Amino acid sequence: MKVIKVGGGGGIDYEAFCKDLSTHQDFVLVHGGSALLNEVSQKLGHPPRFVTSVSGHESRFTDRRTLELFNMVYAGHTNKMIVEHLQRLGVNAVGLSGLDVRLVEGRQKTALKVIENGKKVVLRGDHSGKIQTINAKLLHLLLDNGYVPVLTPPAISTEGVAINVDGDRFAGQVAVALQAQVLLLLSNVPGLLKTLADEASLIAHIAYEDIDTYIEQVAKGRMKKKLLGAKEALSGGVNKVVLGDARGAGPVSAALAEQGTVIG
Amino acid sequence: MKVIKVGGGGGIDYEAFCKDLSTHQDFVLVHGGSALLNEVSQKLGHPPRFVTSVSGHESRFTDRRTLELFNMVYAGHTNKMIVEHLQRLGVNAVGLSGLDVRLVEGRQKTALKVIENGKKVVLRGDHSGKIQTINAKLLHLLLDNGYVPVLTPPAISTEGVAINVDGDRFAGQVAVALQAQVLLLLSNVPGLLKTLADEASLIAHIAYEDIDTYIEQVAKGRMKKKLLGAKEALSGGVNKVVLGDARGAGPVSAALAEQGTVIG
């Protein structure tokens, strides 16, 4: 079993991605949608707001309206577009969010402690959270019957409220729940880069025990979350994580052949 | 088994609707989303376009961009909002579109023959179609395992292209496929009205053999499609169809108690 995450960061040709994906078997797909969400939010008069937590992680402030737009873009546009591509390619895809059958359950953080203009500020009304449980029963049922799950955030809180959770960590937890051998985290960069602007500065391998060092000293922005997702997956029993490029020809095949940053 | 369709025509309190729905068992829900789609399309600079076919039916002209917006609103916003409400109420809902596992398959009509300014015109590039097959295997699998399907258009063509299909006829075909006893078509009117502006002119009962007459002589606009959906359901083995009001208190209970227009 492979869990494959394709990002939503822009610059990805989903049709080409799906074409390569369809040559593989025995996988669950997880996807993002952040670039399109930013665009749609802007156009609908509710521009995105990003905040930096006191622990240094950047995240989207997700008020209720943002969560509605999130559902529209992730579960509506991108999920169904991928399902349509895969169906056309003969893959019997079924798209689900973490809300459906409480597939991905977590704890809502209603108050966010963030740094704004150098000061600690508490923001209320956030609909984001931390994943606690993957309810994998339906995933097994689907896989046993030959269906291919295509999954997307949001998740759902124990109280039944939709919560924005990080897509890479979502994929990592799904990989753990399904005891996947490998987790691919594919986005619009070749992997973890020593120098952000230099795609040739790719770090080819990171040992499990060095992940924290890379999170603290090398990774910036979204890459911190990817390494965190990788760490959680590996500590949960997944054998290998590859951070790869979703943009080129044959992106899934390339990452399975260890092009990118191999972790573990 | 009951198949319940809740419209998307505006004026419906989905939270109240779900609250009543959650007191019932053994159902599949189908929903619409047209009012919100009109609003979002307008705001995103791609205003809705409605056309009248040569046979007198009004429908949405669905170019590719409209279909993307359709997915956002129906499969993203409304489907997941309903799933969230139901999960909070203890109903183990799972939201799917007709694209997923090719649940609802049909034939794409790429060219539409319409009447514009009194003349017959052929419009190309339409992504709508006619339902041919319900692939009910996954629905049975979900129902047998205690999950409650929440379904929405679009459907998918045999060639794997997403197509806009009428939600009431979608619900009718699902009811036939599941051999449901009853189909409820709930919207923002009390049922079929003799006089459109007069909610007291409700027609309480229509016999199966009179449906065509009502389609031709009484029903206007969307009501024609509802009667067509009802006719298809009844001819496929469903015992009873009720056109009811989704807006009041206890709308599902009321329609099950035959408040509205009972057909069959």
What ipTM did this prediction achieve? Answer: 0.97
Residues of B in contact with A89 (CB under 8 A): 160
Q: Which residues in B have their CB inside 8 Å of a CB on A?
A: 40, 43-45, 68, 71-77, 79-81, 83-84, 87-89, 92-97, 99-102, 137-138, 141, 145, 147, 154, 156, 159-162
Q: Which of A77, A92, A97 sits opposite B101 (nearest CB)?
A: A92
Average pLDDT over residues A47-73: 93
The pTM of the full predicted model, rounded to 2 decimals, is: 0.97
Average pLDDT over residues A28-57: 94
Closest CA to B29 of B88, B76, B106, B96: B96
> What does the pLDDT profile of chain B (264 residues) look like in tens digits?
999 999 999 899 999 999 999 999 999 999 999 999 999 999 999 999 999 988 878 889 999 999 999 999 999 999 999 999 999 999 999 999 999 999 999 999 988 899 988 899 999 999 999 999 999 999 999 999 999 999 999 999 999 999 999 999 999 999 999 999 999 999 999 999 999 889 899 999 999 999 999 999 999 888 999 999 999 999 999 999 999 999 988 999 999 999 999 999
Q: Which residues in A have their CB inside 8 Å of a CB on B?
A: 40, 43-45, 68, 71-77, 79-81, 83-84, 87-89, 92-97, 99-102, 137-138, 141, 145, 147, 154, 156, 159-162
Sheet with A119-123, strands from edge to edge, namely: A58-60, A50-53, A112-116, A119-123
Min distance B76 CA to chain A CA atoms (Å): 3
Please tell me the distance from the alpha carbon of residue A13 to that of residue B258, in angstroms, as a whole number.
Answer: 51
Q: Which of A95-109, A191-205, B48-62 has the highest mean pLDDT?
A: A95-109
Interface touch B92/A101, C-beta < 8 Å:
yes
Closest CA to B7 of B212, B170, B218, B175: B170
Structure tokens at A83: 């399902």
Please tell me the distance from the alpha carbon of residue B42 to that of residue A44, in angstroms, as a whole number.
Answer: 10
**Mean pLDDT over the full length of chain A:** 96
Closest CA to A104 of A141, A29, A154, A32: A154
Residue A227: the pLDDT is 97
Please tell me the distance from the alpha carbon of residue B98 to that of residue B131, in angstroms, as a whole number.
Answer: 10
Average pLDDT over residues A65-94: 98
Q: Mutate which of A41, A77, A80, A156 to test chain B, going by most B C-beta atoms within 10 A?
A: A80
Residue A111: the pLDDT is 87
Which DSSP string do the residues of A172-202 spell out, in sequence order?
HHHHHHTT-SEEEEEESSSS-BSSTT-GGGB
Residue B57: the pLDDT is 80
Residue A59: the pLDDT is 87
Residue B183 belongs to what H/E stretch?
strand B182-187
Residue A28: the pLDDT is 98
Please tell me the distance from the alpha carbon of residue A255 to that of residue B185, in angstroms, as a whole number.
Answer: 49
Check whether A199 has a pLDDT greater than 90.
Answer: no
Check whether A159 has a pLDDT greater than 90.
Answer: yes
Q: Going by C-beta distance under 8 Å and a sequence separation of 6 or more, which residues neighbour residue A121? A: A113, A114, A115
Residue A221: the pLDDT is 85
Residue A173: the pLDDT is 98
Query: Do residues B251 and B20 make contact, with C-beta atoms less than 8 angstroms apart?
Result: yes
Residues of B in contact with A148 (CB under 8 A): none
Interface touch A43/B40, C-beta < 8 Å:
no
Interface touch A101/B94, C-beta < 8 Å:
yes
Which chain B residue lies closest to A147 (C-alpha atoms)? B101
Query: Do residues A130 and A110 make contact, with C-beta atoms less than 8 angstroms apart?
Result: no
Interface touch A101/B147, C-beta < 8 Å:
yes
Q: Which of B72, B100, B145 sits opposite A72 (nearest CB)?
A: B72
Residues of A in contact with B41 (CB under 8 A): none
Q: Which of B95, B141, B159 sits opposite A145 (nearest CB)?
A: B141
Please tell me the distance from the alpha carbon of residue B138 to that of residue B187, in angstroms, as a whole number.
Answer: 27
Residue B17: the pLDDT is 98
Interface touch B101/A93, C-beta < 8 Å:
yes
